[in-house]
Amino acid sequence: MPSGSDQNRSVSAPLAALPIPKHKAGVSQLGVAVNTGHCVSANIPPAAFQPAPNQAYVVEEDSDVNDQTSETEGHDLDDTEDNDSKPPNGASSTELREALDAAHLQMAELRLQMCKLATENSSLHASLSNWKSTNKAPVEITMHKKQIAQLGKKYGVMVEPFIETSIFTQQQHEGVDYQSVLCYDSPLTEKLALASQLHDFILSPLHLFKAHSYFAEWFISNISSGRSTLIHNIRTHASVIFVGYNPEYFAAAYKRDNIHALQTLLKFDTMSKMDPLFPPILFPDFKKDMKRVFKSKIIALVLKLMLLSAGSLQGAVLFAAVIVEFLVSPDSNFHSVGDVSGIVYGKKFYEYKKLLICKSNTITVCTLFKYLNFFVFGPCTTHAQDTLVQEGDDFTNDLEDAMLAFDESESKIQANKIKAHLTVPAEGSISALSDLDSDTNLAENGHHWQVEASVFDALPIHPTPHSPH
């Protein structure tokens, strides 16, 4: 029999090594491996469950084991009453061993419950993350989710194919004219102009939500998805747009790197590593003439496929210009910089837009839109309502040459001062559109026409249809 001092000895080594953390059920400090799906003890060595040989132990009345049973609130634990797990004072070694075995069983049950709660917590955490990702927007924004998506898809074609999220939070400044030459005075004025244009494009009821992060994310996401759908549609009709070329060339997965016929559409000198700002595909007959830039029949056909109204023509012609380059490039995905070719589509769009805005009062630009408007919509074009109008290669010289060509064309018109009498060719007579290439056809006493959403609204021209022969 153990001595009296042994019987009154408090629990030491084995039971002292069995501390059950006094955390509420389900708290992460329980030492459970949630990610792997395996249950791990709270750093309890296996030896701790075995009593030392020939040694008796007395369990104090305030045992941690008993405390743990009261900590598991609201869970279906198989609690054991104190009298069932605690031996009486002066108990024999057999009684103490039985009490210890009962404590071991209770500990095992608690560990199983810990694993169960940890798995449940993991599941709840995952579902909470999903809930946050899909419900982070106010109800006022989600109510207009479809409308925002439609605006994003239109904006990507009619205004800008690439936009930064910072534009949505840019403070508005009154008096910023995004169709003025002044908007290119500095990077700040350019950003203010983009913000002003975005503000005008978005419907007024949505202005209050424009700065919300969810609005910007959803808007930009639909710019991308709308662009992808449009490009897919254009690829599907490639045989009509690129007449004489193998339609298989324009499949997204097709390797176009070494197709010489397509390289000649991207570069005047196919041996050069330089990417020209104005490639051959932008010109009629693929011959460079800055007075006829963007008059390529390929661009006109792309516009005809993608447009629904004349009001979207001005912004869309620039989008079409970079899209036709993308279609004949080796790139499979349309980003601001080509992933294979390195063509800076975003930079080119910027330069094209700058050119048309800065030279919007020239006859060349007016002729361009008259040509495209007739080609796409025919001779009975209706006036547009609801006016809406990165860094890469250094295209400074190319852009200056283009502007100079536009200015020379304008000077020639002003010197002649010839009054225009424009006769629009009969519908279907596309070859007769070459008459529009003459700069003298649109001069009217030195009058300058400002290009707006549809430049033709400002043209004091009344076409006289041809009589059929």
Dump the DSSP string for 270-286: TT-----SS-GGGSGGG
Average of per-residue pLDDT across 347-373: 87
User: Other CB atoms closer than 10 Å to residue 226's CB: what's the count?
Assistant: 19
Do residues 356 and 453 share a domain? yes
Residue 171 and residue 115 in one domain: no
Q: List, in sequence order, every residue forming a beta bridge with 58; answer none if it has no partner.
A: 10
154 shares a domain with 125: no
Same domain membership, residue 169 and residue 75: no
Which of 452, 442, 266 minimizes the C-alpha distance to 367?
A: 442
The crossing angle, in degrees rounded to 10, of helices 363-377 and 297-306 is 50
Kindly state whether residues 300 and 400 are assigned to the same domain.
yes
pLDDT digits (tens, 9 = 90+) for 138-152: 787 888 888 999 999
Comparing 442 with 248, the larger pLDDT belongs to 248
- Over residues 79-93, the pLDDT tens digits come to 444 455 566 677 788
Of 274-278, 364-368, 452-456, the one with minimum mean pLDDT is 452-456
Q: What is the mean pLDDT of residues 47-62?
A: 45
441 inside domain:
yes
Is the pLDDT at 219 greater than 90, yes or no? yes
Which segment of 296-310, 315-329, 391-405 scores lowest on mean pLDDT?
A: 391-405
Does residue 85 contact residue 102 with C-beta atoms inside 8 Å?
A: yes
458 vs 103, more confident: 103
Burial (Cβ within 10 Å: 0-12, 13-18, ≥19) of residue 266: buried
For residue 232, tell me if it sits in a domain. Answer: no
Distance of CA 111 to the CA centre of its chain: 47
pLDDT score of 419 more than 50: no
Regarding predicted confidence, which is higher, 268 or 438? 268
Q: Is residue 414 part of a domain?
A: yes
Assigned domain for 111 exists: yes
Q: Which two tokens stand for residue 284?
A: 């009629």
CA dist., res. 103 & res. 11, Å (int): 13
Which of 199, 222, 245 finishes a domain?
222
468 is a domain residue = no
pLDDT at 10: 42
In this structure, the answer to whether residues 303 and 436 fall within a common structural domain is yes
Cα–Cα distance list, 389 to 102, 202, 222, 384, 455 (Å) = 81, 12, 19, 10, 10
344/445 same-domain check: yes
Q: Is residue 230 part of a domain?
A: no
Same domain? For 408 and 354 the reply is yes
**Which has more pLDDT, 164 or 466?**
164
Q: What is the CA radius of gyration of the chain?
A: 38
Domain boundary among 222, 246, 271: 222
Flag whether pLDDT at 362 surpasses 70: yes
Structure tokens at 127: 């579902």
Comparison of pLDDT for 116 and 432, the residue scoring more: 116
Token code pair at residue 247? 């339609």
pLDDT band per the 50, 70, 90 thresholds, residue 367: confident
Q: Do 326 and 427 sit in the same domain of this protein?
A: yes
- Given the structure tokens 């609005």, which residue do they identify? 215
Number of domains in the chain: 3
**pLDDT tens figures, 8-34:** 444 444 444 444 444 444 444 333 333
- Determine the angle formed by the axes of helices 313-328 and 345-358, rounding to 10 degrees: 150
Cα distance between residue 451 and residue 431, in whole Å: 25
Percent of the chain with pLDDT over 70: 57
Token pair belonging to 316: 């869309």
Measured CA distances, 98 to 55, 93, 106, 142 (Å): 14, 9, 12, 63
Q: Quick count: other Cβ atoms within 10 Å of Cβ 394?
A: 10
Q: How many residues does the chain have?
A: 469
Are both 241 and 211 inside the same structural domain? no
Please, which pLDDT band fits residue 136 given cuts at 50, 70 and 90?
A: low
The answer to whether 311 touches 454, Cβ cutoff 8 Å, is: yes
What mean pLDDT is predicted for residues 37-62?
A: 45
pTM of the model: 0.51
- Claim to verify: residue 120 and residue 144 sit in the same structural domain: no
Residue 467 located in a structural domain: no
Q: Who has greater pLDDT, 48 or 191?
A: 191
Determine the average pLDDT of the residues in 222-234: 90
Residues 342, 271 contacting (CB under 8 angstroms)? no
Q: Give dist(CA 252, CA 330) in Å, integer.
A: 9
What band does 65 get if pLDDT is binned at 50, 70 and 90? very low
Residue 60 has pLDDT above 70, yes or no: no
- Structural domain of 254: 237-458
Indicate whether 178 pLDDT > 50.
Answer: yes
Q: Check if the beta carbon of residue 151 is closer than 8 Å to that of residue 219.
A: yes
Mean pLDDT, the chain, rounded, equals 69
51 within 8 A of 100, measured Cβ to Cβ: yes
The pLDDT of residue 379: 62
What pLDDT digit, counting tens, does each position of 319-338 carry? 899 999 999 999 999 999 99
- The whole-number average pLDDT for the span 279-287 is 92
Location of structure tokens 């993308």 = 326
Q: Where are the alpha helices (DSSP H) in 135-165?
A: 139-142, 145-158
Domain boundary at 74, 99, 134, which? 134
271 lies in the same domain as 419: yes
More confident residue, 318 or 8: 318
Specify if 227 maps to a domain.
no
